[in-house]
Structures are given as structure tokens and as C-alpha cells.
């Protein structure tokens, strides 16, 4: 993707409302937000580091639209960011991401997955003595965070996830989450917004979990596996149900991993779960090549995708790619941007900085960078390159 094909982030940041009074404003809000993104792109970890680093690069002052003789001090960032309307900031950044995606020509698969998951900011302690917990939405294939929302002290991820769906257009997407969000109301909201779901099922949905588990259990454990498999296939044939299995094998890091997903429509007519079209059993078997030790894990799940729209191979891919949100967002923010080591803890500042890190990561993804650490080192050597990425 070329730089000219994206919406200009600096212009979009100008739409964020400034909480300060006009009298005494020395630094434009858009310029300060832009400087924060540029600083993060150049390897700075906090607004304190960014403020000191910017003083060493006076070229940034004119490039980002500052009017004072010097760029802001750390105290100025602190005073402003603790007073920002975080909902407006996140809404603006979501708008920028969606517009940039719409204007880009990045190829995606037919089934576009969107992962939703939460992350607690490790070292944040706002005035209510509760660490900030953020729920984020990330595209599977691109690894681009599109929206984020804080989970308040008196609520949990379930109602917040429903509000997150309303932050942008999810029509045509396939939503993946962890088992906590496998809820009837959440699934119905997904369907109402013209999207689909592919979700794991655990003991928090006891009846559904037991029904799926019973379906995939052998009819007679004393019989050979191939005999039980034939019975299982005959049962589907007798009831006109669809059955498909897909197996994927991976040899990496000294382990042989075999993943098998079996999808069935046999329960479709026997459950009242909103939009349910298929249930599946997802089995992962890992064998250590050095010791021969074998680990096996079985997971069950549901989806609103019909067999015609999503075969077993597609469902396996969607479940595996759900971990994009951990590998390409949470892990990067923790290790590369050192988010959990941050001592910022006042008001909404932790949430503001998390939004800025998401934006910096999106800028890098949009411009084709896959090795984030290498990209930060490159931009740190020439900050003007980082400025060009957002203008």
C-alpha cells in the first residue's frame, strides 16, 4: 500500500475536540497527538520520553504544525491527556482506520475474520484503584486494530462487546472471540448487524457444551475408531445432515502438531441458539519430536456459517487466526512498545496512550511493515520518514 492511498492521519486528528480553554493554548491538540504517534513510531515508549526526544529534533516542530518555539514539555502532555474525551479520540481513530481500509487495495480472503478480546494494562492504576481493561477488535489477516473500548469497574466484557460492535460497520465479517463472549445476546447482536460468528463453547454454556460433547463422543468406546467413525457418518446420512472433517499438520519448533476440525449440522434443528448452523470439534495434538511426549486438547464450538459458506477447513482457519489479536496486537504492545512497563496511571491517560499505540501499529501495518521492531529502528534513524507516514 502506498502512502498516498491512505487517509491523512494528521487531518483526522484535528477533529478531536480540545478540552482546554482558548486562552493559554500554546500547542495545537492535533500536533500533540501527531507527535505522540510519531514518537511511538520512532521507538519512544511514553509521552515523557517523547517530549524529551522531540526537543532533540527541532525539525518536527514545523513538520507537525507547532507554533511555539519549542515542542511541548511532558507536563503539558500530562495536563492535556488526562482531560481528553477518550470516547471521541477512539471514535476518531476508528473512523480513520475504516476510511483507510476502504481506500486501500489490500487483498483479503472471502471470510474476513474480526477477533475481539480484552487486555488489562499491566501497570495502570487509575483513581478507582482498578487497572484499566480494554476490549479491542482486530482484523485477522491484516493484524490491524480497528476499535477499542474500556471495560468499566461495574461491568464486564459481555455488554461492552455489544457496544464495540456498534463502533463501526461489521456487516460481512466473521466475529471470533473467547468462550466468555459465547452468549445468546451477543450472537443475536452479531446477526442483527449482518455479520456471522465462529465461537468456542465451554462450561459457561453448560447445556450447549454437553450437547456438542455428547454428539462427538464415540457411541461405544470399546470399538475401534474407524467403526465409530462409520457409525457417525451413517447417523448424519440417515438424518440428511452435513458432516465434514479437515486435518492440518505442522512441523515446527521441534514439535509435530496435528489439528483436526470436524463440523456437523446435526444439532441445527435441535437447539434454539440464535443463528446456529454448524457445531464443531477442534482437536489439537502436539508431539515432541525429542521426547515423544504427546499432548492433546479438544475444543468445541459453534458458527452461524452454513457448510456452503464455510467448510471445515475455513472454520479451522478462522479459529487459528483468532490468535492474531494476541500475536499481532497484545504481544507487540507488551514487548515492542513496553506497555505493561508503563507507569502512566492517571485518569484516562493509560487508555489514550493505548489508543496511540494501536494507531502507530496500524500505520506500520498499512504501509506494509511486518517486522515491527525493525521498522521502529529504521524510523528512529530518520524521524521525517515517520512524519511522512501520517501526513
Q: What is the CA radius of gyration of the chain?
A: 24
The pLDDT of residue 253: 86
Q: Would you call 356 helix, strand, or coil by DSSP?
A: helix
Q: What is the mean pLDDT of residues 151-176?
A: 90
- Per the CB < 8 A criterion, the answer to whether 181 and 199 are in contact is yes
Query: What percent of the chain has a predicted confidence (pLDDT) above 90?
Result: 75
- DSSP per residue over 168-194, as a string? S--TTEEEE--GGG--HHHHHHHHHTT
pTM: 0.90
The order of strands in the sheet holding 145-150 is 145-150, 133-139, 112-120, 173-176, 196-201, 294-303, 278-288, 255-264, 243-252
The pLDDT of residue 132: 84
When pLDDT is cut at 50, 70 and 90, the band that residue 2 belongs to is: very low
| Closest among 86, 161, 156, 171 to 117, alpha carbons compared | 161
Residue 35 has pLDDT above 50, yes or no: yes
Residue 270 has pLDDT above 50, yes or no: yes
| Closest among 155, 126, 168, 162 to 352, alpha carbons compared | 126
- Per the CB < 8 A criterion, the answer to whether 283 and 260 are in contact is yes
**Residues in a beta bridge with 215:** none
79-127, pLDDT tens digit by residue?
999 999 999 999 999 999 999 988 876 655 678 999 999 988 866 554 4
Report the range of poorest mean pLDDT among 1-10, 145-154, 375-384: 1-10
Domains defined along the chain, listed by start = 3-85+353-390 (no CATH), 200-308 (2.20.130.10)
Q: In whole numbers, what is the pLDDT of the chain averaged over residues?
A: 90
343-387, pLDDT tens digit by residue?
887 889 999 999 999 999 999 999 999 899 999 999 999 999 999
Distance, CA of 51 to CA of 108 (rounded, Å): 38
Residue 173 has pLDDT above 80, yes or no: yes
When pLDDT is cut at 50, 70 and 90, the band that residue 239 belongs to is: very high
Residue 128 has pLDDT above 60, yes or no: no
Amino acid at each position: 500500500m502506498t502512502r498516498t492511498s491512505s487517509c491523512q492521519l494528521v487531518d483526522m486528528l484535528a477533529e478531536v475536540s480540545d478540552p482546554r480553554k482558548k486562552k493559554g493554548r500554546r500547542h495545537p491538540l492535533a500536533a500533540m497527538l501527531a507527535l505522540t504517534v510519531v514518537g511511538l513510531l520512532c521507538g519512544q515508549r511514553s509521552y515523557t520520553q517523547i517530549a524529551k526526544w522531540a526537543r532533540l529534533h527541532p525539525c518536527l516542530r514545523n513538520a507537525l504544525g507547532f507554533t511555539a518555539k519549542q515542542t511541548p514539555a511532558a507536563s503539558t502532555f500530562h495536563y492535556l491527556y488526562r482531560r481528553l474525551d477518550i470516547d471521541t479520540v477512539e471514535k476518531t481513530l476508528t473512523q480513520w482506520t475504516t476510511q483507510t481500509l476502504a481506500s486501500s487495495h489490500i487483498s483479503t480472503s472471502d471470510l474476513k475474520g474480526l477477533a475481539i478480546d480484552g487486555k488489562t494494562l499491566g501497570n495502570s492504576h487509575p483513581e478507582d484503584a482498578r487497572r484499566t481493561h480494554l476490549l479491542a477488535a482486530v482484523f485477522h489477516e491484516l493484524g490491524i486494530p480497528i476499535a477499542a473500548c474500556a471495560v468499566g469497574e461495574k461491568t464486564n466484557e459481555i455488554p461492552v462487546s455489544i457496544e464495540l460492535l456498534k463502533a463501526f460497520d461489521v456487516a460481512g465479517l466473521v466475529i471470533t472471540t473467547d468462550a466468555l463472549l459465547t452468549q445468546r445476546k451477543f450472537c443475536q447482536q452479531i446477526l442483527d448487524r449482518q455479520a456471522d460468528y465462529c465461537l468456542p463453547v465451554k462450561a459457561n454454556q453448560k447445556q450447549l457444551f454437553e450437547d456438542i460433547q455428547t454428539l462427538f463422543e464415540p457411541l461405544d468406546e470399546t470399538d475401534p475408531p474407524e467403526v465409530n467413525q462409520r457409525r457417525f457418518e451413517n447417523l448424519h446420512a440417515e438424518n440428511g445432515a452435513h458432516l465434514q472433517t479437515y486435518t492440518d499438520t505442522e512441523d515446527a519448533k521441534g514439535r509435530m502438531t496435528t489439528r483436526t476440525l470436524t463440523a456437523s449440522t446435526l444439532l441445527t434443528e435441535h437447539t434454539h441458539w440464535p443463528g446456529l448452523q454448524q457445531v464443531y470439534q477442534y482437536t489439537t495434538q502436539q508431539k515432541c519430536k525429542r521426547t515423544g511426549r504427546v499432548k492433546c486438547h479438544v475444543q468445541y464450538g459453534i458458527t452461524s456459517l452454513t457448510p456452503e459458506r464455510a467448510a471445515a477447513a475455513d472454520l479451522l482457519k478462522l479459529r487459528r487466526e483468532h490468535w492474531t489479536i494476541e500475536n499481532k496486537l497484545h504481544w507487540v504492545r507488551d514487548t515492542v512498545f513496553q506497555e505493561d512497563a508503563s507507569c502512566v496511571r492517571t485518569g484516562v491517560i493509560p487508555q489514550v496512550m493505548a489508543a496511540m499505540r494501536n494507531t502507530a501499529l496500524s500505520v506500520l501495518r498499512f504501509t506494509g511493515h511486518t517486522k515491527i521492531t525493525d521498522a521502529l529502528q529504521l524510523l528512529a534513524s530518520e524521524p521525517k520518514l515517520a512524519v511522512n507516514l501520517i501526513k
